[in-house]
Amino acid sequence: MTGQSSYTVPVEPAFLDTESQQAVWFLGALVRIRAGVERTAGNFALLEHQGAPRGYGSPLHRHHAEEETFFVLDGELRVVVDGVTRGAGPGAVALLPRGLPHAYVVTSPQARFLTMTTPGGFDRFVLEAGTPATSFEAPPADDVPPTLDELTRLANAYNIEILGPPPAP
């Protein structure tokens, strides 16, 4: 199933241990789905990007269906939002309203950060675009991320518009 859906399941308390959380290698880093749409009744999705190397980032894009929030835990990111560039280090939060073009790139040797989208659904895109992780480590050298053209086609199904390449680190 692709794209946005409405969820009618009531939100129940959930305690999600690491074994119950999905993980994929996505665009060159390990991404763990800490809380996906199935556990949040579609209200939000929380993802953790771990061991993201310098240069890891997203192409310039815009979400037509959700807001995106970044929480930087370790390392440094450069975030570009609607043509404005800002640095984001440990403890920084970037709130990105839907519809605004944005991209990010890791500028430190490594970074760890959370992304939360509201409503949820972005986690499904990441699961579809990524490769199921067989370990909680960096992707192996033979893991090839999708090309920009492949990512663009897939993103369209999730109301995400790819506008250009990622920023340089």
- 137: Cα separation from own chain's centroid: 17
Interval 96-114 mean pLDDT: 98
Instruction: Return d(Cα 152, Cα 127) in angstroms, integer.
Output: 15
pLDDT of amino acid 20: 81
* Topology, domain 19-133+157-164: Jelly Rolls (2.60.120)
122, 124, 127, 129 alpha-carbon torsion, rounded to 10°? -70
- 1: Cα separation from own chain's centroid: 18
Under 8 Å between Cβ of 148 and 163: no
Interval 104-130 mean pLDDT: 97
17 pLDDT tier (thresholds 50, 70, 90): confident
Percent of the chain topping pLDDT 90? 83
Indicate whether 10 pLDDT > 60.
no
Paired residues of 25 in beta bridges:
30, 131
Indicate whether 9 pLDDT > 80.
no
The owner of tokens 């939002």 is 81
Instruction: Return d(Cα 149, Cα 69) in angstroms, integer.
Output: 25
pTM summary value: 0.90
Indicate whether 142 pLDDT > 70.
yes
The owner of tokens 């760890």 is 112
